[in-house]
Every structure is written in C-alpha cells, then in structure tokens.
C-alpha cells in the first residue's frame, strides 16, 4: 500500500528513446573496434556462400580508454586512437551490441598490430 502512495516524479522513458541515446566509452586499456566486413566475392567474381565467409581479422578502432595506471599511479597512454586499422585475434574480445551495430571490446594487449 505504501508503494502505491509514492509516485515517481521522473517521466517514464520508452525503450526506443533509451537505446537511441546509448553510447559506450571504454575504460582503462580497453579498445572498442568495428570489425571489417569480409568480402563475399572473389577477385574473379565468384560468389562465396555465407557459411564459408569467416569473421575478418581486421577492424577499425571506434574508441579507446584513457590508458592503464601502474603500481606507482602513473598513467600509461594508449598506443591506438580512433580511426586506426588494426589486426585482431581470431578469438577473444567481448561482443557489444549498440543499437543495431555489433562492436567488439578488446584489451590493448590483445590487439596483434596496427596497419600503417
């Protein structure tokens, strides 16, 4: 009975307005990456079946965390920045879905390299 007498002064939000405004800022030494889409055709024009196309090992950095602190409290800056094209491991990372986009979250140490 007490809960029915207490009313919230905040307006209720519908689910579409909540998901449209979501964003993700990586913490520590985390890197948010958008995997590249693998080609479904060969250079000769042959179409590959969808079950034969594996995840690409390349991706574009979307966002990076501030870095990681050592035991003395010194901040070690990240070697990557937004827009870098990186080589990703075949397995690992955490898949994150923001809106209708699938992104992956990795530690900086897990990323194999950066394309120049």
The H-or-E segment that residue 107 falls in is strand 101-107
Give percent helix, percent strand, percent coil of the chain, each to the nearest 5. Answer: 15, 30, 55
CA pair distance 50, 65, nearest whole angstrom: 34
In a domain, 81, yes or no: yes
- β 101-107/113-114 pair status: unpaired
Residue 5 falls inside a structural domain? no
Q: Using one digit for the tens of pLDDT, what is the confidence trace for 52-75? A: 556 678 999 999 999 999 999 999
Stretch 14-27: mean pLDDT, rounded? Answer: 59
Within-domain flag for 91:
yes
Residue in 23, 5, 45, 3 with CA at minimum distance from that of residue 96: 23
pTM of the model: 0.70
What's the pLDDT at 53? Answer: 54
* Residue 86 within a domain: yes
Domain carrying residue 59: 23-37+54-116
- Cα–Cα distance for residue pair 101/78, rounded to 1 Å: 24
Closest CA to 110 of 98, 101, 94: 94
Q: Tell me the C-alpha distance between 104 and 36, whole Å.
A: 11
CATH number assigned to the domain comprising residue 97 = 2.30.33.40
Does residue 6 lie in a domain region? Answer: no
Q: Looking at the predicted structure, is the pLDDT value of residue 8 above 80?
A: no
Mean pLDDT over each residue of the chain, to the nearest integer: 78
Residue 51's pLDDT band (boundaries 50, 70, 90)?
low
Report how many domains make up the chain.
1
By three-state DSSP, how is residue 113 classified?
Answer: strand
pLDDT for residue 16: 38
What average pLDDT score do residues 2-28 get? 51
């Amino acid at each position: 009975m007490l809960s029915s007498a207490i009313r919230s002064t905040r307006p209720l939000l519908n689910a579409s307005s909540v998901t449209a405004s979501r964003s993700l800022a990586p913490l520590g030494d985390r890197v948010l990456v958008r995997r590249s889409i693998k080609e479904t055709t060969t250079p000769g024009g042959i179409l590959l079946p969808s079950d034969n196309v594996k995840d690409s090992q390349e991706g574009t950095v979307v966002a990076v965390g501030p870095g990681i602190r050592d035991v003395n409290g010194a901040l070690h800056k990240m070697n990557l920045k937004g827009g870098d094209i990186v080589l990703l491991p075949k397995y690992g990372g955490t898949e994150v879905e923001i809106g209708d986009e699938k992104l992956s979250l990795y530690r900086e140490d897990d990323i194999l390299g950066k394309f120049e």
